[in-house]
Amino acid sequence: MTEYLQKLNEQQKLPVIHKNGPLIVIAGAGSGKTRVLTYRIVHLINQNIDPFNILALTFTNKAAAEMKKRISESVGDSQARNIWMGTFHSVFARILRSEAPLLGYPTNFTIYDTYDSERLVSNIIKELNLNKDHYKAKQIRNRISSLKNNFITVENYFNNPEIIEVDKMSKRSEFGIIYKKYVERCFRSSVMDFDDLLLKTNELLNKFPEVLSKYQDKFRYILVDEYQDTNYSQYLIIKALSDRHQNLCVVGDDSQSIYSFRGANIDNILNFKKHYPDCKIYKLEQNYRSSNNIVQCANSLIQNNQFKLDKTIWTQNNDGEKITINKSISDSDEGRFVASNIFEKKNNELLNNSSFAVLYRTNAQSRAIEDALRKINIEYQVFGGLSFYQRKEIKDIIAYLRLIENLNDEESLRRIINFPPRGIGQTTLDKLTLISEKQNISLFDSISNLNDPSVKINKGTIEKLENFMNQILSFKVFSQNKNAFETVSHIINKIQIVNFYKNEGSLESFNRIENIEELVNGINDFIEGQKELFESDKSLSKYLEDVALYSESDKEASNEKVSLMTVHMAKGLEFPIVYVLGMEENLFPSIMSINSREEVEEERRLFYVAMTRAEKSLTLSHCNQRFKWGNLIECEPSRFLLEVNNKYTNKNSLIQQQPSHIDNTLLRLRNFKKRKNISKLKSFKSSSQNIKINIKINDIVFHERFGKGEVKQIELDGENSRATISFNNSGEKKVLLKFAKLKVIK
């Protein structure tokens, strides 16, 4: 039962077998922290700890899914399913769904994302007739978020003269009124935003001792991943839940604390020993990811930070190639250098596009490398641009889905009450708002109360409002016994949104239709994906929750493309070959983050993260000149380049581009036809009685959703026969053969 312990080194084994009492695992980059977390949970279960009593908190759904899969392979699916495991927001949303009535919320409350929250703030600013130059919706929303994450409620705000004075100095003396109205409107609409999932959980645990006692007793063993990224509100919840049994295990790396702008507080990990004086400290210092030159070079950088925990990262990997420090004339030359270098490495070393990642400090820096890659026909994918779910046409349809799920959802109603256009203008909406506030009812319910003598709405408009209300109610009835795909298909057909965009006839409208089509494809993919899971839930509610909790950090790079992303986006990822662009003063470190030691140290940690994404090859690039607002300015190499030990670097002289060389190489590539090794595809058939298996262990298979992978294990169990497959991009998954669409590649 303990053969898994043999897979661990001595440093990893100690926190795994630690049973009772608080512990902190300081895990360096590439040191196997996920394995330690996973095996610690497995070990607890093997020590007869009930999985129902284990809580594991992560920052991404991807991390939670990966851990759960690994655990299920060791202790079985039934045991793994009983663990409370997920992101902070998803786990606390689950608790609040159960306990929400205590706080005055229904159990089917809506979760607003950042865009929804900002839209509500914007409406409030408009209603209060405030100066939009002083009261910018995004800034106000961010401030509300910051206050909530620091556990400062509306009541706390008005009782704190210092905070009020800060807003007065910023010419935002009415901020408190906006904050108060925002909270009231959310409550009336049965809505919680992302920050509320933490704030309301704190409120629940503080106000209701019986609820706190219930969950303290339930969660006897608590594990927290990426503890360096926790904020004050998360710290308070973790502390409260773990207070009775003190069996708290946190894993993190202070050197990778890079999210202070999101409220992350590095003091949580730096002061863990102070918070839990009896804690055991374990260190994972062996790096399994990177070459020795990369590890030592990164060490030489991070040692310049004063606020850090002591650790010495090392590796048994070979030295590898030295880190290249490239100097280019301009950002365009920098882009061409990186593109040509990728091109040459691909052909000389027979590498895939997915082996390469290009990292930068700001999204704007992607332009030069994108131009260069396009010119030599290298496919790439940019991460961190406008999210699919933030596009207007997608938000509109999601608003319909949210409204039929929760009729009290005010912002969703406002968004779609006149889209596609049905002759209901802002004046009418203002009258509905008046009825809503006067009678203290939801905006949707106000449509049923149009007989208020103080609010005059003409007959024609009343008919339009009633038609809209009846349409929404009919959608709600339709959705009751339908899955998410059936529901959205029905709604799109009935509101005729595709025809609306077709009639516009513009290129933008065509792109919107393509996006709508892709949304439908995505929901269908969601349904198909549920078929392969042991806990299948095809409901609209489940889909909406997945969308609401969706984050960029859960996206995975394309199998066929070079990855372009900011360093923040790259955290948690790894690539054989990495390029870091723009290593110049005022760019990296950012000019916005050099005003204090704390800021500079976070920038240095960010650079450390960038360096440690690389497995075999790392190039750090800077320019002599760079365009700023159309003007060419002189650039100074980043102070961080001066801090790394030259012993591990190879400082190149200026590399002149050779366009003719690139063109000739490209010509040769175009004349080279890559052979396809995919033969006639084999499949298996299923029936209610038995499943014909045409795959075997070690087969290389292709799955439409997860991509290419290798069959590791086959378990024959009639209708529940399954295969464990290690997918190149999606990790190891256990799929039901009854539903899995597998193709054998020979």
pLDDT exceeds 80 at position 745: no
Q: What is the pLDDT of residue 532?
A: 65
Least confident of 1-15, 181-195, 706-720: 706-720
- Alpha helices by DSSP H, listed for 305-391, are 331-349, 366-375
- Interstrand relation of 323-328 and 191-193 (parallel, antiparallel or unpaired): unpaired
pLDDT in the model for residue 18:
94
Q: Which two tokens stand for residue 601?
A: 């140290």
Q: Tell me, yes or no, if 34 is annotated catalytic.
A: yes
pLDDT at residue 669, rounded to an integer: 38
Output the pLDDT for position 1: 52
- Residue 235: the pLDDT is 94
> What is the spatial distance between Cα 270 and Cα 261, in angstroms, rounded to a whole number?
18
- β-strand 722-727 against 707-715: which pairing, if any? antiparallel
The predicted structure's pLDDT at residue 719? 75
Q: In this predicted model, what pLDDT tens digit does every residue of 294-308 receive, in sequence order?
A: 999 999 999 999 999
Q: Say whether pLDDT at 703 is over 70.
A: no
Among the listed residues 613, 639, 733, 734, the single catalytic one is 613
DSSP for 19-78, written as a single string: -SS-EEEEE-TTS-HHHHHHHHHHHHHHTT--GGGEEEEES-HHHHHHHHHHHHHHH-HH
> Does residue 139 have an active-site annotation?
no
| 487-496: average pLDDT | 91
With 0-12 CB in 10 A as exposed, 13-18 as middle and 19+ as buried, what is 231? buried
ω into 420 cis (within 30 of 0): yes
At 609 the pLDDT is 96
Cβ-contact 626, 331 below 8 angstroms: yes
Active site residue 33: yes
pTM summary value: 0.68
Judge contact between 191 and 104, C-beta under 8 A.
Answer: no
Residue 226 among the catalytic residues: yes
pLDDT tens digit string along 216-243? 999 999 999 999 999 998 999 999 999 9
Exactly one of 73, 113, 174, 226 is catalytic; name it: 226
533 pLDDT band, cuts 50/70/90, is: low
| pLDDT above 70 for 554 | no
> Residue 653 has what pLDDT?
40
pLDDT at 690: 56
The pLDDT value given to residue 731: 65
How far is the first Cα of the chain from the last one, in angstroms, to the nearest whole number? Answer: 36
Q: Which of 216-230, 233-247, 541-555, 672-686 has the lowest mean pLDDT?
A: 672-686
Q: Which of 12, 228, 256, 649 is catalytic?
A: 256
Q: Which conformational region is residue 129 in: left (phi greater than 0), alpha (psi within -120 to 50 degrees), or beta?
A: left
Q: Which of 32-41, 244-253, 426-435 has the lowest mean pLDDT?
A: 426-435
In the annotation, is 371 catalytic? Answer: no
Tens digits of residue pLDDT in 331-340: 888 988 999 8
Percent of the chain with pLDDT over 90: 49
> What is residue 644's three-state secondary structure?
coil
Q: Cα–Cα distance between 194 and 112 in angstroms, integer?
A: 7
Q: How far is CA 264 from CA 91, 115, 183, 269, in A?
A: 19, 21, 23, 10
Q: Assess whether the previous peptide bond of 589 is cis (omega < 30° from 0).
A: yes
> How many Å apart are CA 521 and CA 492, to the nearest integer?
13
3-state DSSP assignment of residue 482: coil
pLDDT value for 501: 86
> Percent of the chain beyond pLDDT 70?
87
Residue tagged 């992101």 (tokens): 87
Q: Which residue is catalytic, options 13, 33, 172, 733?
A: 33
Q: Model confidence over 635-673: pLDDT tens digits? A: 999 999 999 999 999 865 433 333 333 333 333 333 333
